[in-house]
Structure formats: C-alpha cells, structure tokens
C-alpha cells in the first residue's frame, strides 16, 4: 500500500515492551473512524500493542499498515483457531492489534470487530471472507459480453444485505454494445436509490465521475467478474499502474485473472480502495430477510397482495406480478432459494436430498407405466 473484538491473547510470549504510540491522524487517513476507535480504547491493551489495518492477506502472513509504514505479520495460532471456528477469518480491510516480538517479528493477537464485512459461502458451506470495514462497493460490469443484469442484481442485493452501500459502475463505455439501451434497462430494473455510472475505466474522467465516494478516509471495494475492468479502473483511480491488466477472450468476452489477491491501496484523494480477483460465483452469506429488504420495490408491493404469504407465483390477487420485471422477480426467488439451502444444517440437507430422491423415483416409475400402457 502506498503512502465483538476477539480477546484471544498470548501474554506469556516475550515481547518488546517499548511503548510506541499510535499515530491516529495517520490511521484516520487509511480508514480509522470513531466506531473503530471506540472499540480500540475499550480494549485492555499492553503498552506494546499497536493498531494496524490489514492491507494484504497471504497463506502464512499478512501485510499490515499503520498509516505510514508497512509490516509483515503472522497471526497467533490461538487467534487463528478462534477466528476459523467462528467463520470470521481475517480479511483485507480488517483492523487488528499486534505486537513486535523481541526478534523483530510482528504477531497479531486481536481482531477489532468490523462494522461491515463481505463474505461468501464455498461449496462445502465454509465462509470465505472477501473484505472488511467497507463503506462503498463499486459493482463493476462491462458493457460488452460481461453485461448481465441478473448478476448485477445479485451483487447489489448481497452487498446491501451486508450493510455496504452499492454503486453500479458500467465500464467499457468506449467499446460497449447498446450502451443507452442497457443503461435504460438497469434504470428500469434496479431501485431508483441505486447510483448508476457509465465510465471508460481508462479515462481520468472516471475518477471525477466516482468522486462522491472517493473522500478521504472512505474505503471502497471493487467487485465484478474477471475482465469487467476492475484492475484498469483501480489503476485509473490510483493514478498509477499498480494492478496488472489483461485482455478478454475474443469468443465470449471472459477475462483472465490478472488480479490474484485482494489488496488495499491509497488513492491520491485519500480514499482506500480494495481490488479483488474476479468473482465467478457468489453464494449468499446473509439471511433471507436482509436480502428481501434490498428488493424493497418487491417488498413494498407485496404489502398489497391478497394473501399475506403470497409467493408471487400464481396466487390470485398478487400485487407484485405485472408490476415488477419478470426476470427480476425470478432472480429474487432464486436468491431466496439459495439462502434457504445455505442455512440448512447437514441433517436438513440430507433429508431434502432424500425427499427429492423419492420424488425422482416416483416420477420415473410413472413414466415407465405410461410407456408400458399401465397408466
């Protein structure tokens, strides 16, 4: 980078006891706010404890920043085990308390509870952190083959459900297809409160277009698929070629993973920006009520449905069907089903699989009867 808190501690380890005060003005420049500051001051800290922000996460080490200098650090095994068990592993953007060992090695022994956290669920149900302490998510989608309104609705719903403000960024305006038509489609499908910007990620004007979210001390994360233009936009906002960029495939417009790790950088205007590898999938890590709240246009109309438990499928007196774009409503239902599956216990998942297995066998038997004339 240029320029409930965990109580797990290992005080029996020998540390340098030289007290070094935090430079709070420098920390504020990389995103420290009053909420995080209050947590820090509430901790029972050792004179050797220092407050840092995580700017890069690797397998065996993390890169920390104190607003002036970077340090390589490792996580105490006890804290790593506790965070893994709670599904809250450290992510880029986290704030931590660390101490310097007598040998000059830095060790992280506390995590400051983030005020926002983005994560997704892996195929095996494990929680995978994306970024922490985010103010704004720039949801980047190319106006070429990358254009997919359903995916944008999905990303928007998931970041808003996590308490992060979402901004739609349509990139590649200079080479996009049917730019005006696609912009009009998104304005029709997405709630009016959602800002939508059309940019050329290589132009300095992109920074001016996005300036309302680039204020000093603000933290942004760029999310989108590979080839959407995230790294190009990151370099433009940083006014430096920090991230490697690459071409997309000619056949389907899919991008290659030029960004392989999440990292936090400081923009000239003072905002912190986190670039991320392309997301091929984003399985929900939020509850159904939170996602429903992000589809507030559907929820508002649902209050006028004839039946209180209306699913907006084929029930009579539904106030949603016909008023909401059919594809948006389909996407809403799909997300709710995915969330329901992600919240199932292993036993519930097995029971559901057994149920559908029985249904499948019954359907197969009926088909066999029809073909044999026994129906």
Mean pLDDT of the residues in the chain: 82
- Same domain flag for 84 and 152: no
Query: In b/e form, how buried is each residue of 254-289, taking b as 16+ CB within 10 angstroms?
Result: ebeebbeebbbbbbeebbbbbbbebbeebbbbbebe
Residues spanned by the domain of 34? 24-115
Domain-located, residue 84: yes
Q: Calculate helix-pair angle for 179-189, 149-161, nearest 10 degrees.
A: 40
Which tokens in the block code for residue 210?
């996005």
- Same domain flag for 175 and 252: yes
Strands 219-223 and 136-142 turn out to be parallel
Domain-located, residue 15: no
Instruction: Please state the rounded mean pLDDT for residues 319-335.
Output: 86
For the chain, what percent of residues have pLDDT higher than 90?
40
| Distance between first and last Cα of the chain | 71
pLDDT at 281: 66
For the chain, what percent of residues have pLDDT higher than 70?
82
Domain-located, residue 373: no
pLDDT surpassing 90 at residue 358: no
φ/ψ (deg, to 5) at 328? -65, -40
pLDDT at 253: 42
Residue 261 DSSP symbol: S
Instruction: Please state the rounded mean pLDDT for residues 119-146.
Output: 86
Q: Calculate helix-pair angle for 149-161, 326-342, nearest 10 degrees.
A: 50
Of the listed ranges 18-27, 243-252, 267-276, the least confidently predicted one is: 243-252
How far is CA 269 from its chain centroid?
23
Distances (CA, A) of 34 to 37, 39, 40, 245, 256: 5, 9, 10, 36, 39
- Same domain flag for 29 and 100: yes
- Same domain flag for 96 and 183: no
CATH number at residue 130: 3.40.50.300
Of the listed ranges 185-199, 238-252, 298-312, the least confidently predicted one is: 238-252
pLDDT at 11: 41
Strands 62-65 and 70-75 turn out to be antiparallel
Domain-located, residue 147: yes
Which tokens in the block code for residue 169?
């960024």
- Same domain flag for 245 and 136: yes
User: Exposed/middle/buried for 23, CB within 10 Å: 0-12, 13-18, 19+?
Assistant: middle
How far is CA 303 from its chain centroid?
30
- Same domain flag for 106 and 129: no
Is 217 strand, coil or helix? Answer: coil
Q: Are 285 and 127 in contact (CB under 8 A)?
A: yes
Instruction: Return the higher-pLDDT residue of 202 and 5.
Output: 202
- Same domain flag for 83 and 144: no
CB-facing half-sphere around the CA of 139: CA atoms within 13 A: 24
* Span 32-67, pLDDT tens digits: 999 999 999 998 878 889 999 999 998 889 999 999
Instruction: Return the higher-pLDDT residue of 125 and 168.
Output: 168
CATH number at residue 336: 1.10.40.50
Instruction: Return the higher-pLDDT residue of 28 and 244.
Output: 28
Confidence of residue 87 (pLDDT cuts 50, 70, 90): confident
pLDDT surpassing 50 at residue 254: no
Distance, CA of 359 to CA of 375 (rounded, Å): 18
Strands 106-112 and 127-132 turn out to be unpaired
Distance, CA of 101 to CA of 3 (rounded, Å): 25
Distance, CA of 356 to CA of 16 (rounded, Å): 61
* Span 236-250, pLDDT tens digits: 999 876 654 444 444
* Span 196-236, pLDDT tens digits: 999 998 999 999 999 999 999 999 999 988 888 888 899 99
Instruction: Return the higher-pLDDT residue of 120 and 372.
Output: 120
Instruction: Please state the rounded mean pLDDT for residues 85-99.
Output: 91
pLDDT at 124: 64
Q: Are 183 and 169 in contact (CB under 8 A)?
A: no
- Same domain flag for 106 and 150: no
CATH number at residue 98: 2.40.50.140
* Domain stop point among 115, 143, 169: 115
pLDDT at 229: 85
Domain-located, residue 281: no
- Same domain flag for 171 and 44: no
- Same domain flag for 162 and 246: yes
* Span 93-121, pLDDT tens digits: 999 999 998 888 999 999 999 999 998 87
E strands of the chain, at which residues? 50-57, 62-65, 70-75, 95-100, 106-112, 117-121, 127-132, 136-142, 165-171, 196-198, 219-223, 263-266, 272-275
pLDDT surpassing 60 at residue 305: yes
Domain-located, residue 81: yes
* Domain stop point among 98, 115, 132: 115
Domain-located, residue 89: yes
Query: How many domains are contained in the chain?
Result: 3
Confidence of residue 141 (pLDDT cuts 50, 70, 90): very high
Confidence of residue 275 (pLDDT cuts 50, 70, 90): confident
- Same domain flag for 142 and 263: yes
Domain-located, residue 93: yes
- Same domain flag for 238 and 196: yes
């Amino acid at each position: 980078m240029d320029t409930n808190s965990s109580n797990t501690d290992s005080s029996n380890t020998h540390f340098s006891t030289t007290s070094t005060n935090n430079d709070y003005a420098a920390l504020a420049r990389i995103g420290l706010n009053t909420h995080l500051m209050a947590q820090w001051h509430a901790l029972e800290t050792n004179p050797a404890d220092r407050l840092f922000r995580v700017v890069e996460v690797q397998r065996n080490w993390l890169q920390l920043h104190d607003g002036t200098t970077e340090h390589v650090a490792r996580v105490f095994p006890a804290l790593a085990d506790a965070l893994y068990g709670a599904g809250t592993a450290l992510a880029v953007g986290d704030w931590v308390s660390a101490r310097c060992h007598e040998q000059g090695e830095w060790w992280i022994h506390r995590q400051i509870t983030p005020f926002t956290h983005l994560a997704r669920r892996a195929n095996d149900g494990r929680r995978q952190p994306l970024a922490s302490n985010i103010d704004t998510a720039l949801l980047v989608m190319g106006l070429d083959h990358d254009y997919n309104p359903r995916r944008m609705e999905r990303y928007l719903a998931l970041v808003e459900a996590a308490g992060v403000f979402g901004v739609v960024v349509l990139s590649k305006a200079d080479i996009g297809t049917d730019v005006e038509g696609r912009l009009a489609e998104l304005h029709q499908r997405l709630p009016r409160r959602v800002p939508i910007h059309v940019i050329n990620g290589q132009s300095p004007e992109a920074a001016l277009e996005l300036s309302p979210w680039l204020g000093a001390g603000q933290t942004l994360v760029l999310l989108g698929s590979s080839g959407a233009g995230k790294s190009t936009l990151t370099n433009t906002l940083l006014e430096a070629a920090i991230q490697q960029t690459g071409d997309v495939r000619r056949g389907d417009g899919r991008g290659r993973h030029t960004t392989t790790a999440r990292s936090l950088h400081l923009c000239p205007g003072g905002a912190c920006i986190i670039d991320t590898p392309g997301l091929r999938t984003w399985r929900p890590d939020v509850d159904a009520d939170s996602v429903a709240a992000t589809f507030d246009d559907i929820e508002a109309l649902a209050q006028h449905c004839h039946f209180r438990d209306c699913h907006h499928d084929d029930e009579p007196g539904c106030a949603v069907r016909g008023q909401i774009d059919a594809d948006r409503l389909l996407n809403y239902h799909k997300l709710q089903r995915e969330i329901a599956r992600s919240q199932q216990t292993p036993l519930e998942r097995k029971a559901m699989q057994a149920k559908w297995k029985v249904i499948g066998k019954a359907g197969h038997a009926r088909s066999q009867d029809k073909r044999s004339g026994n129906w």
